[in-house]
Structure 1
């Protein structure tokens, strides 16, 4: 998404400036061309030499060096986007009121590209009414503000005011400016979360799925233009991304029925829900009382959603399944790819640290019908979703 994009990174005087080193590295690694402008105060926190080495461009700080002047107008017109990270309380106030006493501010005031800011300051400064007013002014000018984080601050306090992490900034820029609408006009079906199979009115058979991975996939599909039908099992996750219609279900049978209804109209189907394999044969209408003896619950298999959709799948549809395994992972994933008539199986293992239920990260290997096997490193689930959708797009337009 960042390939050949022109990024102007503006750095102000804040202890969070150290994060700009990693942000620069990530942008360059993603294929962007990066130029950097700093306030004089920023030199106290991060070395221009380090940044110029990483960005492969001279760092601009002063309006002139007694021999020539830095063309702030040209710099502001060169960029596809200007990112101010970190944005200090002082520079925020100057930007909000149009002050122009350094090269960074002159560049900002003459920039014709979108401007995104990532504030960083102590909690009391962040919550001060003057700061809130300045932030509203900046947003009223059309600038985008990346929310601050909550955590340990340079003052020793714990609270709001931490600059967003470089990975979060990258994701924000990508989602708001550089997302390809390569799925515009397409329809997608996604399942997410667990299913709960009732034993009685208060007890059920379920699992630890949070629904985070499926939601991330649904949001990625929607951002890239698809109209998404999300079949969501019992889960606390929710979304504000436009283009997603959520259908809430409880049981495997309800999820099966909803998928069968939506599948025919879908170009893409991603079955990421952790559907119960078994459900009680009978459900007690009243709560089962605890007795001295044991309790036996007879179970029966649930309908296999992925296999059922595989039987109905057309040539122009892409069907994706998930495999969460604890042993013989690759063998089971390949077998599932074949037996379910899927186009792709996404494997993750409970043996991998930071993968599986409940985590904000995942580590996957993608198996495709063509025989391709693609392992990925552990990443935030939003980035994993991006990788998965990239492969879906590649398959859809092959």
Structure 2
């Protein structure tokens, strides 16, 4: 018995749909989570209410259903396996030619290339043997991670005998089990940093910033629940509730974070690094002309003045590629500005691309962040820009970028 998986199961208009119901029922009995999707003709052959009763989830039937407008993206990132069974000749044509006129074809087109797909065609023998249908099958064989379960020979629903019959539920289930067993338990490994560094002044006082680490923890939680393996480096000053399954490693100063980052990325091959930590630009080098490292205890607070000399910290993000075991892994930086125009923000982002070997930058401005809003833009090194309105859409934007890139 292997862990339960998330299965996106699409049905098209075919008399063989009754076999798919049996398959779906067996998958649910095995503990898998199944989301059923209908083509526009599927409802002529099987009832959506029955399938909702089996799966506990409403059957999705349209790209434009209220409250589900982005499901053609979300579901393909959620799923461990996509199944199209039975798959009609019409749906085969859409899949093989990049069509997106209904929900099943749109889901197939929007899927990340890493998602495994099982297609089980069913149709009349003449339709199956038609040259155009066979050309469509050959096209789909070239699609990444796409598997075709060919129809069987036998008596067809029309009364004719020949090849075109959907395999029996037991054989379909065996094929699904095989694909699920070969599907990694993790969609990818991520390292996320979050919270602000604190540069010590003395044993009590620090130089720090206002970063809370909430965005990093929110992203880590959502990636973890979506099937990614997540390591989190979090500031000691981030007093947050940590979700089950996350075990942060804590840092204080920039030097602490540097050591942890070097150790992590050099020893483990991460698919992506999300560097959201707010790293102090400077550390304390001298106090009243004395080396800060030579002082200990708490500073005397009686003098009217203290002269603190600050020295620039290294830009950690500029070294991540150099330190990384996986030289081709994605690196995403974060850029927070204050009261800058969009043009000025774009200039800051471009400078970060020029100084660091990174793949994307998530940029936002303090004027657009509040308890309810979290506006920003994800910029890619290729020059693309994707806007988001809140932390939920931030996660969707980042997940889409990672899913399409790794």
Does the 8 Å CA contact 1:321/1:346 hold for their aligned counterparts? yes
Structure 1 residue 322: Cα displacement:
0.4
How well do the aligned residues superpose, as a CA RMSD in angstroms? 3.6
CA distance in 1: counterparts of 2:208 and 2:195, whole angstroms = 10
C-alpha change, 1:185 and 1:394, in structure 2 (3 Å) is closer
C-alpha change, 1:308 and 1:115, in structure 2 (3 Å) is same
C-alpha change, 1:338 and 1:393, in structure 2 (3 Å) is farther
The secondary structure found in structure 2 opposite 1:248 is strand
Larger Rg: 2
Alignment partner of 1:77 is 2:88: no
CA distance in 1: counterparts of 2:310 and 2:214, whole angstroms = 28
Aligned to 2:398: 388
Does the 8 Å CA contact 2:321/2:327 hold for their aligned counterparts? no
Aligned to 2:355: 339
CA distance in 1: counterparts of 2:9 and 2:334, whole angstroms = 34
C-alpha change, 1:363 and 1:217, in structure 2 (3 Å) is same
Q: Which one of 337, 345, 351 corresponds to residue 367 of structure 2?
A: 351
Does the 8 Å CA contact 2:199/2:207 hold for their aligned counterparts? yes
C-alpha change, 1:227 and 1:370, in structure 2 (3 Å) is same
Aligned to 1:271: 275
1:220-231 equivalent positions in 2, closer than 5 A:
220-231=222-233
Alignment partner of 1:308 is 2:319: yes
C-alpha change, 1:250 and 1:383, in structure 2 (3 Å) is same
CA distance in 2: counterparts of 1:78 and 1:227, whole angstroms = 32
Does the 8 Å CA contact 1:329/1:347 hold for their aligned counterparts? yes
- Partner deviation per Cα, 1:149-172 (whole Å, 9 max, x = no partner): xxxxxxxxxxxxxxxxx99xx99x
Q: How many residues align?
A: 243
Does the 8 Å CA contact 1:228/1:245 hold for their aligned counterparts? no
CA distance in 2: counterparts of 1:288 and 1:385, whole angstroms = 43
C-alpha change, 1:178 and 1:311, in structure 2 (3 Å) is closer
1:271-290 equivalent positions in 2, closer than 5 A:
271-281=275-285, 282=292, 284-290=295-301
CA distance in 2: counterparts of 1:223 and 1:191, whole angstroms = 18
Q: Which one of 191, 199, 214 corresponds to residue 197 of structure 1?
A: 199
Aligned to 1:113: 55
Does the 8 Å CA contact 1:213/1:385 hold for their aligned counterparts? no
CA distance in 2: counterparts of 1:388 and 1:344, whole angstroms = 9
Q: Which one of 176, 179, 192 corresponds to residue 78 of structure 2?
A: 179
Q: Which one of 217, 229, 239 corresponds to residue 236 of structure 1?
A: 239
C-alpha change, 1:297 and 1:270, in structure 2 (3 Å) is same
Aligned to 1:258: 260
Aligned to 2:218: 216
**What's the TM-score once normalised by structure 2's chain length?**
0.53
CA distance in 2: counterparts of 1:254 and 1:312, whole angstroms = 15
Where do 5+ consecutive residues of structure 2 fail to align? 1-5, 12-35, 39-45, 59-65, 81-114, 116-183, 286-291
CA distance in 2: counterparts of 1:255 and 1:352, whole angstroms = 28
**What's the TM-score once normalised by structure 1's chain length?**
0.54
